[in-house]
Amino acid sequence: MSDEGAHDLPDLRIVELARVVPHEDFDERRILALAERLVREEVLKDPPIVAPLGDGRFVVLDGANRTSALKHLGYRDALVQVVDYGAVALSTWHHLVVGLSAQALAAGLSAIPGLATDDASLPEAKAMLRANDAAAYVVYDGGATVTLSGGTDLVGRCEMLRSVVSVYNGRADIHRVRAVDLGAIDAHYDDVGGLVVFPAFTPADILSLVREGGVLPSGISRHVIPGRALRLHFSMAILADEAPRDEKNRHLIDWIRRKRQANQIRAYDEPTVLYDE
């Protein structure tokens, strides 16, 4: 732990919410609850993380639900942390589907128009995904593996992946995992239906997808943000105010200065594991 006076502070800004666009779906079930919590607590604790798109807009790297909740509440502006996408590590989450049987999962996938499901060995499925010859693959409880193919370009493939996730989203518990072999994690969970393994994406893929109007399913991209700002507890009243954004940003700068003067800002360099999320 160190005094933040020796570090560069995160780039916090108040921006027009209409210029903040998602790269992934938001979770509709969480929006109302999150909006109610924002109203009840009257503060924004953790700002969404965004990166410039280069056209005056910002792509949301983390915080699609928070920005969607602000839009639901009718806010004009949002407090965000702006980051350089080149300094962000991007990897992929895979979905462990719990509470939906392998048979139900397979039936749902086979019913998706335009989606091809083909039997494969696990090594074959991994190779096809790496070669971009499959959009994803599934390892069912019991070990059977199928590749999923569909969509002719990046946007089309992502639309197909959204259809895949819609099969179990809301019907099962989705655990985000990094493992690509069900056998490595199956023993830690009960009532597993299968593991859905997604491809790797690059920042260029994400930016291209957003510029073309596409989105990923929720819970696939994993952005590791250096210097992430947390626990701001910034007043929602300031965001709701109809004052010009320049004036709001001056208030934000002064608010940060006072926080720094009071020695209330800390930077933690070590990785952290939380048990109360």
Between the alpha carbon of residue 60 and those of residues 68, 110, 213, the distances in Å are: 11, 32, 13
For domain 2-88+225-267, is the CATH number 3.90.1530.10?
yes
Domain ranges of the chain: 2-88+225-267, 92-199
- Provide the pLDDT for residue 185: 86
- Provide the pLDDT for residue 142: 85
Count Cβ atoms within 10 A of the Cβ of residue 237 and give its class: 0-12 exposed, 13-18 middle, 19 or more buried. Answer: exposed
Task: Report, as ranges of residue numbers, the positions in the chain whose pLDDT lies below 70.
Answer: 1-7, 276-277
Helices (H), the chain: 28-41, 64-72, 102-110, 122-130, 154-168, 203-211, 236-240, 245-261
Between the alpha carbon of residue 248 and those of residues 37, 174, 243, the distances in Å are: 23, 39, 7
- Provide the pLDDT for residue 7: 53
- Provide the pLDDT for residue 62: 94
The answer to whether 198 touches 136, Cβ cutoff 8 Å, is yes
The answer to whether 97 touches 63, Cβ cutoff 8 Å, is no
Sign of the dihedral defined by the CA atoms of residues 95, 48, 2, 85, in that order: positive
- Provide the pLDDT for residue 276: 67
- How far is the C-alpha of 117 from the C-alpha of 112, rounded, in Å? 10
The answer to whether 249 touches 77, Cβ cutoff 8 Å, is no
- How far is the C-alpha of 272 from the C-alpha of 259, rounded, in Å? 23
- How far is the C-alpha of 136 from the C-alpha of 161, rounded, in Å? 8
The answer to whether 146 touches 102, Cβ cutoff 8 Å, is no
What pTM value is reported for the model?
Answer: 0.87
- Provide the pLDDT for residue 22: 95
Q: 92-199 — its CATH code?
A: 3.30.1760
Between the alpha carbon of residue 159 and those of residues 175, 202, 225, the distances in Å are: 21, 17, 26
Bridge pairing between strands 221-224 and 89-92 = antiparallel
